[in-house]
A and B are shown apart, each in its own frame.
Chain A
């Protein structure tokens, strides 16, 4: 695939990081070009690849089909293997652990502590997490399914909630369960852990492999029984579908079957719509709302399922964010002290698009993107599934 790169720099021109920073020379340079100088057992030639945010826009726009973002992710992992993972990156990459420690009865205390400027200053000095970085507020009542139906009766789906729904946004999970139930599905929420994306993007491939294989073990019995897996976090579903198997070279039958059975929730609903099985008893919502399709959602390469499905709501008009715009956060990237300002600069065109719409609410599928958008613009954000649940009057 390397030889397909003809050095046309289309990717560099589309790269949101290279557009705002001299620290990142662009996907072509750190990807296909630097790759020719990377050899096993030799030191990494250029550390600039660490400034790749992993948004994957380069992959999408490449006219010759070079998987540039993958080259970058592997190069970063090689760097981590050589130099070790800094404590800060270890911490923020373990979203599962952090979520479990923060959510629950102790949440008010955790939130108060993290809301205090002194703690944030200390975290910046000691850990390198930027003091203004958008951190989510932990919930007192972590997401869990109320009743657990047994496998194998009627129409069923597995809901993959991801770390954020569990620890910070249980309302997104509740909306997803309600919308899926409205379609006549019983929703199973089996044990699951972090998809491993934060570990992958921080270069800890060994931990990512453990996380992915644990998920495959958890999900395999359902997949075997023909039950699809549906997620609300576009980056979790992308990781289950593609990023983990490809980057970690996991190609067993179970891994492939789990990948093939995983759907983003709107992708799943669109399939239902195409078969005429989507419930269309929605109430009109007279609203014009900005909608940002996250980079990780575009990377599914399935078009715009949210736009397709929400088009059935009378009165609702979605204003799409500019093509290839990025909020900059890229999961944990924009939390880092040295990358916070850069991530804000990356997101500026998107932020001004959202503020210019004058709307007090914006829609976006990815949790970290929502937090970044709300942080930068002051505009409230929702997952589109919450809006659909409203339209169903759930």
Chain B
């Protein structure tokens, strides 16, 4: 079947591009190896991890690092992407709040404060500027592993917040054996669980006079803002979610917002469609092949968006010899010259490790470039984590780059 645009990858970058293209009336297919890496993330939109004023830091960035994805697509593209994602999430009943003028800092599952820009409504009461307004309770469930309220509270106390940790009792009759964050989130979709937990919180609030309560980010999958509102009403305190270790329910929620919008827009999604090679005619990519039972499936399109992610997402792999390969199309990878240069001797080197800036170098239209700076395919745009010359984790710009490039891709390639 022939498509106008085929997107390879189902993370935020790929789905942003898919939605944008579908909105223009194009026939769009998303081919993905599996579900995107969104379930590994906090479910916030990180734009730039630089204190209180990301915007001015970004203005400096685009001048000093012209190869950074933000510099290539321009800050306007980022701004449009952020506005768009807010509209999209609000329409899905899962509002995102914040903005890039003023950075937000929220507690992690270790009690550290993490910078981000847009957070779901369910987390915003945990913003660090407000946390100091009174005694704070961090509550968890023993069934939910990897979330330790006493540890979180202790680390918050070390930063000057009056936090206490406690465990709540899972209502009887609920899952006892294996509790992943999603299973607990499904429990919170049941009224009797909310009522029970709400009562327990109410008792704590009466005894400790807490103004705010931090709970693991498992407060429902589909109706999270309503679950938080109900728990607030029951407990008499402000409730905020703290993202858990993977699988992260807030990450899944954000993915669902995108996935549902894409399906509603008529985007075809093929999960399990693992692209392994490309077929080209000169500088035009004409088809890709995905793994299928007993044979490969050929897909053809006019335009292509590569959104397979970096090392983490699986878009880039290193082999035993230290070669770094781009897994889907076999594009040239911009990387440190030799393996000896991958890492800085200091683990927490201020400049980060060079290997984490490896990726696909692109021109301002996001078309892939080879080592000599020539365009490899004229009808391919690379977006998100697969791009070179930035370090999404250290710079705290994972979702920002995904949106700026994913959403901005189409305006570069009309």
Task: List B contacts of A65 (CB < 8 A).
Answer: 33-34, 274, 314
B98 at the interface (CB under 8 A from A): no
| Contact among B33, B37, B178 for A26, CB-based, below 8 A | B178
B103 to chain A, nearest CB (A): 28
Task: List B contacts of A59 (CB < 8 A).
Answer: 272
Identity of the chain B residue whose Cβ is nearest the Cβ of A4 in the assembled complex: B314
B39 at the interface (CB under 8 A from A): yes
Contact A61 B178 (CB under 8 A): no
A332 at the interface (CB under 8 A from B): no
Contact A13 B39 (CB under 8 A): yes
B38 to chain A, nearest CB (A): 10
Contact B34 A60 (CB under 8 A): yes
Contact B292 A301 (CB under 8 A): yes
B291 at the interface (CB under 8 A from A): yes
B315 to chain A, nearest CB (A): 11
Per-position contact with A for B149-189: 1 when CB-CB < 8 Å, else 0?
00000000000000000000000000111101111001000
Contact A308 B1 (CB under 8 A): yes
Contact B34 A18 (CB under 8 A): no
Contact A301 B35 (CB under 8 A): no
| Contact among A10, A298, A299, A300 for B247, CB-based, below 8 A | A10
B294 at the interface (CB under 8 A from A): yes
B193 to chain A, nearest CB (A): 16
A22 at the interface (CB under 8 A from B): yes
Per-position contact with B for A11-46: 1 when CB-CB < 8 Å, else 0?
011100011001001100100000000000000000
- Rounded to whole angstroms, the CA-CA distance of A42 and B308 in the bound complex is 40
> Which chain A residues numbered 57 to 108 have a C-beta less than 8 Å away from chain B?
59-65
| Contact among B37, B175, B247, B269 for A323, CB-based, below 8 A | B269
Per-position contact with B for A240-258: 1 when CB-CB < 8 Å, else 0?
0110000000000000000
Contact B178 A18 (CB under 8 A): yes
| Contact among B29, B175, B246 for A8, CB-based, below 8 A | B246
Identity of the chain B residue whose Cβ is nearest the Cβ of A24 in the assembled complex: B178
Contact A302 B297 (CB under 8 A): yes
Contact B176 A22 (CB under 8 A): yes
Per-position contact with B for A293-306: 1 when CB-CB < 8 Å, else 0?
00000111111100
B142 at the interface (CB under 8 A from A): no
- Rounded to whole angstroms, the CA-CA distance of A79 and B292 in the bound complex is 29
Task: List A contacts of B1 (CB < 8 A).
Answer: 270, 274, 303, 308
B340 at the interface (CB under 8 A from A): no
A262 at the interface (CB under 8 A from B): yes
Contact B291 A301 (CB under 8 A): yes
- Rounded to whole angstroms, the CA-CA distance of A324 and B297 in the bound complex is 21
Contact B178 A29 (CB under 8 A): yes
Contacts A8-B247, A62-B34, A303-B1 given; does A25 touch B178 at CB 8 Å:
yes
Task: List B contacts of A342 (CB < 8 A).
Answer: none
Contact B272 A12 (CB under 8 A): no
Chain B contact residues (Cβ within 8 angstroms of A): what range?
35 or more
B342 at the interface (CB under 8 A from A): no
> Which chain B residues numbered 67 to 85 have a C-beta less than 8 Å away from chain A?
none
A193 at the interface (CB under 8 A from B): no
| Contact among A61, A303, A308 for B35, CB-based, below 8 A | A61
Name, among B36, B291, B294, the residue most crowded by chain A CB atoms within 10 Å (CB to CB). Answer: B294
Task: List B contacts of A18 (CB < 8 A).
Answer: 178, 183
Identity of the chain B residue whose Cβ is nearest the Cβ of A9 in the assembled complex: B247
Contact B34 A61 (CB under 8 A): yes
Task: List A contacts of B183 (CB < 8 A).
Answer: 18-19
Task: List A contacts of B175 (CB < 8 A).
Answer: 22
Identity of the chain A residue whose Cβ is nearest the Cβ of B186 in the assembled complex: A19
A259 at the interface (CB under 8 A from B): yes
- Rounded to whole angstroms, the CA-CA distance of A322 and B181 in the bound complex is 22
B46 to chain A, nearest CB (A): 19
Contact B177 A25 (CB under 8 A): yes
B293 at the interface (CB under 8 A from A): yes
Contact A303 B33 (CB under 8 A): no
- Rounded to whole angstroms, the CA-CA distance of A242 and B295 in the bound complex is 9
A238 at the interface (CB under 8 A from B): yes
Task: List A contacts of B178 (CB < 8 A).
Answer: 12, 18, 22, 25-26, 29
Identity of the chain B residue whose Cβ is nearest the Cβ of A320 in the assembled complex: B263
Per-position contact with B for A214-255: 1 when CB-CB < 8 Å, else 0?
000000000000000000000000100110000000000000
Task: List A contacts of B5 (CB < 8 A).
Answer: none
Contact B270 A303 (CB under 8 A): yes
B313 at the interface (CB under 8 A from A): yes
Task: List A contacts of B270 (CB < 8 A).
Answer: 301, 303-304
Task: List A contacts of B314 (CB < 8 A).
Answer: 63-65
Contact B34 A13 (CB under 8 A): no
Identity of the chain B residue whose Cβ is nearest the Cβ of A296 in the assembled complex: B293
Per-position contact with A for B266-297: 1 when CB-CB < 8 Å, else 0?
00111111100000000000000011111101
Identity of the chain B residue whose Cβ is nearest the Cβ of A60 in the assembled complex: B272
- Rounded to whole angstroms, the CA-CA distance of A13 and B184 in the bound complex is 11
Task: List A contacts of B180 (CB < 8 A).
Answer: 9, 12-13, 26
Contact A63 B293 (CB under 8 A): no
Contact B294 A262 (CB under 8 A): yes
Contact B268 A303 (CB under 8 A): yes
Contact B272 A10 (CB under 8 A): no
Contact B37 A13 (CB under 8 A): no
A260 at the interface (CB under 8 A from B): yes
Identity of the chain A residue whose Cβ is nearest the Cβ of B34 in the assembled complex: A63
Task: List B contacts of A12 (CB < 8 A).
Answer: 178, 180, 182, 247
Identity of the chain B residue whose Cβ is nearest the Cβ of A13 in the assembled complex: B182
- Rounded to whole angstroms, the CA-CA distance of A300 and B268 in the bound complex is 16
Identity of the chain B residue whose Cβ is nearest the Cβ of A304 in the assembled complex: B268
Contact A298 B272 (CB under 8 A): yes
Contact A303 B186 (CB under 8 A): no
Contacts A12-B247, A25-B177, A26-B180 given; does A301 touch B36 at CB 8 Å:
no
> Which chain A residues numbered 313 to 370 have a C-beta less than 8 Å away from chain B?
323-324
B360 at the interface (CB under 8 A from A): no
Contact A14 B246 (CB under 8 A): no
Task: List A contacts of B271 (CB < 8 A).
Answer: 60-61, 323-324
Q: Provide a sorted-by-A list of 22 A–B residue pairs whose CB atoms are within 8 angstroms.
A: A7-B246, A9-B180, A12-B180, A12-B182, A22-B177, A25-B178, A26-B180, A59-B272, A62-B34, A64-B34, A241-B294, A242-B293, A260-B294, A260-B295, A301-B292, A301-B297, A302-B292, A302-B297, A303-B1, A303-B29, A308-B1, A324-B271
A-B pairs with the 7 shortest C-beta distances? A60-B272, A241-B294, A242-B293, A63-B34, A301-B292, A241-B293, A259-B294
Extra pairs beyond A14-B35, A303-B29 (11, CB < 8 Å): A8-B246, A8-B247, A10-B34, A12-B247, A13-B39, A19-B183, A22-B178, A61-B35, A242-B294, A301-B270, A323-B263
